[in-house]
Structure 1
Amino acid sequence: MTPWLVFVFGMLIDWPLSFVGAVFTSLFVLGKQQVPVKYAATLIIAAYGYMIAAWFVTGVIRPYPGAMLLIVIVAVSLSYYLLVTRNDILMVVMALLGALLIPLQMKSSPETAWELAIWLPHNLMIAWLVSYLMFSLLPAEPNEAPPSKKEAEYDANRRWLRLCVAFLPFVGFAFVTDNVSAFTLTYVSVQLTLFAASPTNGPTMIKDAMVGNIVGGAMAVAIYEISVIAPFLPLVIVVLLLAYLILANRMLNGDGLAPTALTALTVVCGVSLGPLMDDAEGKLAVRLMQIAASMGYIFIAMLAVDKWLPEKQTVS
């Protein structure tokens, strides 16, 4: 229930992007063991470096859209290369946020881009500190599971090329037309990262993720409607707790849809229930449509690359 605590506390004190902190917290606490201090420090420092560097670089080249697009494409490609060579999901997610979210926001509002550049790493640090505290209070059980069957190894360069082919056209379209929101672009990139990092990243996994997003979005809509009918904050907090408990129980029972549903629930609730959310109902509908469009694009793109650029298994 740690992500719920972060989300609710952030909602109560109005800290910026607290729902992002809740998503980061879920990534930390879903691991079998506590994230080591050394790795967390490296990750947080790198996150600040990615975001601030992205803000300064894109601020300088803001008058030159062609140069900005080229730098974004190179940064995204390098982020995915880091994924296939090191499989460091958290580091890659932060690199992608810096490569995509900051430049796209810089085009319309440098002030908003700066707030994102500062508060995304802030939320990452808060999430790790909270997860560290929870693991200290409630230590994880020793992992005594038998060694699992060795997973098939794949050609790293081929997998990197597949990711670039699947996603870079969408990046180009977003930056050239300005018809794609920063949220949609980032959501697509992060979901592709999670799929690529999984050994079972086939159509079935993507379909399950689509269903999970629908479930999480539907739960968020229900919670929002309850908050409209009965605008009583303690009631909303209790309903949120119930939703998190249901999804946490499903995760403990091995339901593969639950993690995606939890992310969708947190993001959509963060948009509709968070501070400074004028026209929350309109933003809620838009965010649901953006999530649906993101998952639809990923499904089509991955089907295409599976057909014309399939994985290549390496020879052991």
Structure 2
Amino acid sequence: MSLTTAPRAEGTRRIPVPPLLLGLALALLASLVCGVALGATGIGWGRVLRLLWAGLSGGSVGADDAGAYTIVWEIRFPRVVLAAVVGAGLAAVGVAVQALVRNALADPFVLGISSGAAVGANAVILFGALAGLGVWALSFSAFVSALAATALVYAVARSPLGLSPLRLVLTGTALAYGFQAVTTVMVFGAERGEAARSAMMWLLGSLGGATWPKVPLVAVTVLAGLVWLGVRAGALDALAMGDETAAALGVPPDRLRRELFVVTAAVTGTVVAVSGAIGFVGLMVPHLVRMLVGASHARVLAVAPLAGAVLLVWADLLSRLLLAPTELPVGVVTAALGVPAFLLLMRRGGHALAGR
């Protein structure tokens, strides 16, 4: 299924971007507050707002509020902020990967990056590798193994004729299965118990380990990726129309693909290192946004990150509430939300998904 800029079906109307951005920004703000206020431990809305203001303004809280302040400011707030950043990054990278391989069915994990990250993460969870790094061992190991997987995919996919979309997809898919096999052997080879359960939680995505120190690096990486993609939006439009058209418009397709590959790997590796493998956000959100605003990458990249942020904040909230106090992997929730929504989108707006 090719990603093209073919005309939309008759009767399809674009939603103006400015009001849509304003609505999504307000929805994200409300979602962040809901994500902090709701949970297994009930905290009143007024109290939550007061404690959030105390944390943001550097104010003090009374002894009676000390426990609630810890829950709000040290546990829930960094988690919902990280969920928003991860959701924004996954949605933006979904747009980038679909442009990179010119395939509307691609998502951030089609290149095998998340499967590679899983190998490093499980080495820490199951066998205690890099224990000297303390709380950073998991994120560091996942990020390094994601970059190693990226380098391997690039080395295998590259040919004397350049970096073709088909070779990238086939290589990434094949190596992803290989990385998954390694991960499975590691899980079966480890002792049963809490470590194996933690490994499965990470493989299906979890934001339970969110802390404030993890937020800045992920936020900066995602923001840098968004800025680069925004600057190159016009080149992505040209690439979506085919290599020959892109070259005729002055956009070298091979060089642009290499740049996209690096940006995609950096953002995906950083995000996966702190959240695990959360699927479906990078696949569904770009499609939904294209149906609302059209195929222009400038418009899609302006809206998709906010939409992805709102989606993942609510998915994470549902993962905490559905079986409280037990927590579901957030990847299970995104799949449960995404599969029916995606099928509905295909029935009602198949032209947007099929590029015709």
Same fold (TM over 0.5): no
TM-score (norm 2): 0.30
Q: Which has the higher Rg, Structure 1 or Structure 2?
A: 2
